[in-house]
Structure 1
């Protein structure tokens, strides 16, 4: 697989951040046959060695959960599928209002959207996690959000590639 094909296929695994796939490929970290674990390890290493500003940019590329992009139908296909799987496309008016309030409060406090790997979680699980994490300090929450971004990337890669050789 050449660089263009790799970036085309995996550039969106880290939300709107193809530079991570480009760097992993350019660093010679991508070997065939491709597996979810190997590609994730390579891309996560590039994410972790990115500057704090670059990692912040990746965090900011993520949509608000049940936010305006979801309402407008403007999520990436991965984000739409992930949020729908957790029931975030079927919120009551009260639940939607609570997510909207928490999203605004969180972004104001931390400077990036609340990020959680929603696969396997219910909307109630997500709301409880949201309400717990909003009390964190910025450094702790930045680290937690970065860990969640890596988990989301792993889950996306697992849907695209086999686990092992």
Structure 2
């Protein structure tokens, strides 16, 4: 699928196709459906980011909290499963899994939401380094950083989705 095909979808199909670009947050896709047509994928991403940025702070926290803990052995969305696998988070030795678990717990206790990073842009070692570094941030800094990372994750998901998906 390309952006021009997506522009022609009816409302429900448009939201279905884009509903998981922002993890478990179809409201973002709903917020841009009337902004069509989009000339390019970057325009669509920019419009979706604008919807998120205009949202209330509580909606930001809900969006952040929709993301899973990194390396957790729980059921994930299809996108999160593939993203975490790309960094090898699904095949960690027990000691490394335990380190991720401990860092997830410390981070969640400190900030009240999961640690978010665009795992396709880094390695397991890079993720661990970012975990340690970001634990020293303020809550406001982490909310901003998490939202920036979510925007990047959405950009990556759009890059993968638009050339590859076919309407069922």
TM-score of the alignment, normalized to the shorter chain, above 0.5: yes
Number of residue pairs matched? 155
| Runs of at least 4 residues off by over 3 Å | none
Q: Calculate the aligned-residue CA RMSD, in Å.
A: 1.1
Deviation at 1:32, TM superposition (A): 4.7
- In 2, distance between residues paired with 1:134 and 1:91? 22
Aligned counterpart for 1:60 among listed residues 59, 65, 68: 65
Q: Which residue of structure 1 lines up, in the alignment, with residue 85 of structure 2?
A: 84
Structure 2 vs 1, CA of residues 129 and 105 (structure 1 numbering), >3 Å: closer, same or farther? same
User: Is structure 2 residue 52 aligned with structure 1 residue 51?
Assistant: no
Q: CA deviation at 1:23?
A: 1.1
Return the match for 2:35 from 29, 32, 38. Answer: 29
Check the 8 A contact 2:23/2:67 in 1, yes or no: yes
Superposed displacement of residue 67, structure 1: 1.1
In 2, the alpha carbon distance for the partners of 1:8 and 1:141 equals 30
Deviations along 1:31-79, one digit per CA (max 9) or x if unpaired, are 155x32111011100000010000100000000000132xxxx111100
Q: Give, in whole Å, the separation in 2 of the partners of 1:132 and 1:143.
A: 15
Tell me how far apart the structure 2 counterparts of residues 107 and 30 of structure 1 sit (CA, whole Å).
38
Question: What are the Cα deviations for residues 9-28 of structure 1, in whole angstroms up to 9, with x where unaligned?
Answer: 00110000000110111xx3
Aligned position for 2:10: 2
CA contact (8 A) 1:40 1:157 kept: yes
CA distance in 2, matches of 1:68, 1:161: 29
Ranges in structure 1 where 5+ consecutive residues have no aligned partner? none
Q: Which residue of 2 aligns with 1:110?
A: 111
2:21 alignment partner, one of 3, 13, 20? 13
Give the TM-score normalised by the residue count of structure 1.
0.90
Which stretches in structure 2 are left out of the alignment for 5+ residues?
Answer: 1-8, 164-168
Matched residue SS, 1:119: helix
Alpha-carbon contact 1:30-1:42 (below 8 Å) kept = no
* CA 38–32 in structure 1, closer or farther in 2 if over 3 Å, else same: closer
Q: Which residue pairs with 1:122 in the alignment?
A: 123
The normalised TM-score by structure 2 is 0.89
Question: What residue number does 2:95 align with?
Answer: 94
